[in-house]
Chain A
Amino acid sequence: MVIEQYTITNKYNFPQPNIDTILPQRFLEQSLNSLKQVQFHQPFQLNQAVQQFNTTEIYQSNLQLKPKAIPLKPDHQETIIAAIDTSTIKIGETTTGIIVAVRGAATWRQNHAYKYTRLGPFIFHITEDNKNQLFNTLEHAYFCTTYGSMHQASPNLMQMPARLASLLERWLQTMLAKTINHGVLLFDGSLTAGTIDTPTQRLKEILNYARRSNTTVLAFSKATILRANGVLITEQLPNRDPPYLLETTGMQSKPPQTLLGDVYVARLNKANIAFRLDIDRETDFTQQVDAVQKLLGNDLYTQSYPETLRLSHILCTFTANEVLAIKHFITRKHGIQIINRPDMHKLLFGPFGHKGEIYS
């Protein structure tokens, strides 16, 4: 399929622009293709609750937290700190499927200034009929050379937005892992592979690219379910001044999940908040600690969370204004009529009928 009216720029403003654009081009093609499959004037239901998707992970573990903290000292040696995040939102439903938007952002701090590249939004009409073709086309667009023989289970319709966002996120991570030298790369989430969104081989390859560029990957989880002795690991902070790391031992993943990172608890400033931090386990301990110290010396912190990662999240998150604009776009450009079906939760339960909001 040839798209004449839309093109992706050949080079992105990443720290070192040496990027191929196959995946974003396929995203665009599949997006337009899926929107064309919506029948003219097909009823379209407004989404009743803005929902952003997330995945959880479950471990079998004899997890313990080493009581002795690893003290950290900010290393101000000029180092690029880069972060990636993606976001997806369900815009509404049609009689045959769902309309979703996906966007990704890469942010980096260089020469004391933050810069970003934001990719999207890409809008998809996903149906039972097109979901496999859509996902496989995108999957093969970038990852086929390595994973052509490895067919993943078909995602169900409601998993598709998260799967599309995950694909875009892995692509952005790959691009930055390939292009940043001697830097620190921040991921949102953990370094657990073997999940439906993160095939082990794919994450291994991203970590390999980073290692070859002497870049260390640090993955921050905003929330964790990991407990040691029944207490969340991020709530067992020693009585000492930050910044410091707490090392964990005894982590075991439930097959087919694999842990590709060593798991720490990081408290980076005086805010009494700590995060689970996964650091590529193929890098030696000294380099792991060095990477966190470079992060400390080169980034800012709000509530103990790296600003670069926070900006990535903020930049890719969809605001209500953007959701309205996307609805305006699909109505004007693709002739999809918006109707408001009654919200059964509100209809039945009145003011108690709120559906929960989940943010990634």
Chain B
Amino acid sequence: MKLYKKEGNVLQIISFPTENVEKGDYLLVEDADAGKALIAQVIDVQFAAVPGVLEELLRTLPDGGEPLQGEDIDPMEIAPHITYIQDASLLICKIRATLENEMLSPSSSWLPSRSQSTIKKLSIPMLMKLANVDGKLPIILGGTKDYSLLTIDAS
């Protein structure tokens, strides 16, 4: 994943097909040099505006709407790279917090490095741990989509 844009408290992140990110997932955008990280939640998944995609789609349907029949001899196996780029998605994410010195704050006023930041998925248990909601009196609210329990702390 690569950081593309930040507008207000919304991040746009480019994601590739193998990364399997869905709406609702939490991401950790970590800038090691700044010693900070943003926690953002995916609120929409869109197609990335890859140049040339329209031409690519159009040329597969030139025969009266019927797919053109043919054979592609691609000895260098470039085709998987083409679909990899073509299927890239744009993740629209809302910044939920900044993580600094293992403390969460609601700030989204700093800009992480576009070239140096690393982005990874944040599991719900890890998020709960960061938010200090893994207390001694957990109340189970239900399950999350990565099969962990969602709890709140009653202590």
The yes or no answer to A261 lying at the interface (CB within 8 A) is no
Proximity string of chain B (42-60) to chain A, C-beta cutoff 8 Å, 1 when within and 0 when not: 0000000011110110010
Q: Which of B30-38, B67-75, B90-98 contacts A (4 or more CB under 8 A)?
A: B67-75
A-side interface size class: 35 or more
Known: A314-B59, A320-B51, A320-B52. A325 touches B85 (CB 8 A): yes
- What CA separation (Å) do A314 and B61 show in the bound complex? 11
Which A residues contact B (CB, under 8 angstroms)?
Answer: 6-9, 12-13, 24, 28, 31-32, 107, 113-123, 307, 311, 314-315, 319-326, 328-329, 332
In the complex the two chains form, is A326's CB within 8 Å of B53's CB?
A: no
Q: A13-B70, A314-B59 are in contact. Are A319 and B81 (CB under 8 A)?
A: no
| A323-B52 Cα distance, complex, nearest whole Å | 9
User: Is B149 engaged at the interface, CB distance under 8 Å to the other chain?
Assistant: no
A323 to chain B: which residues have CB within 8 Å? Answer: 52
- Do the beta carbons of A325 and B84 come within 8 Å of each other? yes
B73 to chain A, nearest CB (A): 5
User: In whole Å, how far is A161's beta carbon from the nearest beta carbon of chain B?
Assistant: 16
State whether A114 touches B63 (Cβ < 8 A). yes
Q: Is B65 an interface residue (CB 8 A)?
A: no
A204 to B88 alpha-carbon distance, docked (Å): 48
Q: Residues of B contacting A329 with CB < 8 Å? A: 76, 78, 81
Interface centre among B53, B66, B69, B85 (most CB of A within 10 A): B85
Q: Is the CB of B73 within 8 A of A122?
A: no
Contact B78 A113, beta carbon cutoff 8 Å:
no
Structural contact, B69 and A12, CB atoms closer than 8 A: no
Chain B interface secondary structure, helix, strand, loop or mixed?
Answer: mixed
Q: Name the distance in Å between A22's Cβ and chain B's nearest Cβ.
A: 14
List the B side residues contacting A24 at CB < 8 Å: 73, 75
Q: Are B82 and A311 interface neighbours, CB within 8 A?
A: no
Question: Do A114 and B68 contact each other (CB < 8 Å), given the known contacts A8-B73, A311-B62?
Answer: yes
Q: Which residues of A contact B68 (CB under 8 A)?
A: 114-116, 311, 315
Nearest Cβ on chain B to A20's Cβ, whole angstroms = 14
Inter-subunit contact B73/A118 (CB<8 Å): yes
CB distance from A175 to the nearest CB of B (A): 12
| Residue with the greatest number of chain A CB neighbours at <10 A, chosen from B51, B63, B70 | B70
B60 to chain A, nearest CB (A): 10
Q: B73's contact among A12, A32, A123, by CB below 8 Å, is which?
A: A12
* Distance of A130 from chain B, by nearest CB (Å): 18
> Are B70's CB and A117's CB within 8 A?
yes
Q: Nearest-CB distance from A329 to chain B (Å)?
A: 5
Q: Are B75 and A8 in contact (CB under 8 A)?
A: yes
Q: Is B118 an interface residue (CB 8 A)?
A: no
User: Known contacts A28-B75, A314-B62, A325-B78: does B55 contact A319 (CB below 8 Å)?
Assistant: yes
Q: Are A118 and B78 also in contact (CB < 8 A) when A320-B52, A321-B85 are?
A: no
> Can you give 19 contacting A-B residue pairs, CB < 8 Å?
A8-B75, A12-B73, A13-B70, A13-B71, A113-B69, A115-B68, A115-B69, A117-B70, A118-B71, A118-B73, A121-B78, A311-B62, A315-B70, A319-B55, A320-B52, A325-B84, A325-B85, A328-B85, A329-B76
Q: A107-B70, A114-B62, A328-B84 are in contact. List 20 more A-B contacts (CB 8 A).
A: A8-B73, A13-B71, A24-B73, A31-B76, A114-B63, A116-B68, A118-B73, A120-B73, A121-B74, A121-B78, A123-B78, A315-B70, A319-B56, A322-B52, A322-B78, A323-B52, A324-B85, A325-B84, A326-B78, A329-B76
